[in-house]
């Protein structure tokens, strides 16, 4: 795992812990309608809050073309085209493999009762500390995700 990845993930975990009240956190959506306008009662997931923790760095919530009431995470690198797939955007921004971004940010990768700010922060810190993630009940080192993916899908 790169130092950039560790620094950004640690900054996000710290931001969530210190700045985001539990009632403002909802792992079920990137952000609820009204979040961009800072309306009272709106919520966001960890990746949605990353747009606040990392202002003016290309990570944005944008209204979905097909449904303007839904916000999706996007990333516009300084050089390149906007990435509109939310997990790919998170992966590129945080400098982590896409399966790791899904492991951290996807609600279906958490047990229902663990879709809380506390558990997401703990998962982020564990990935940074151990440089490992779980997939299908397997412990996978972040550095070997390409080999893991190749073994799974290409053979």
Q: What is the pLDDT of residue 32?
A: 76
Q: Is 4 helix (H, G, I), strand (E, B) or coil?
A: helix
- pTM of the model as a whole: 0.84
38-83 confidence digits (pLDDT tens): 777 778 889 999 999 999 999 999 887 766 667 889 999 988 899 9
Domain boundaries, the chain: 3-153
| Whole-number Å distance between alpha carbons of 67 and 53 | 26
Whether residue 29 has pLDDT greater than 60: yes
137-149 confidence digits (pLDDT tens): 555 665 565 565 5
């Amino acid at each position: 795992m790169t130092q950039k990845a560790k620094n950004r993930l640690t900054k996000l975990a710290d931001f969530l812990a210190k700045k985001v009240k539990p009632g403002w956190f909802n792992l079920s959506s990137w952000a609820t309608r009204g979040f961009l306008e800072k309306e009272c009662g709106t919520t966001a997931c960890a990746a949605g809050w990353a747009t606040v923790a990392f202002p003016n760095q290309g990570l944005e919530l944008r209204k979905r073309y097909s449904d303007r009431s839904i916000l999706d995470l996007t990333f516009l690198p300084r050089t390149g085209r906007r990435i509109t797939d939310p997990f790919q955007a998170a992966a590129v921004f945080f400098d982590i493999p896409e399966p790791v971004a899904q492991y951290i940010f996807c609600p279906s990768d958490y047990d229902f009762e663990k879709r809380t700010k506390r558990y997401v922060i703990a998962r982020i810190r564990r990935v940074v500390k151990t440089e490992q993630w779980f997939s299908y009940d397997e412990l996978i080192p972040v550095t070997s995700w390409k080999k893991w993916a190749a073994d799974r899908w290409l053979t």
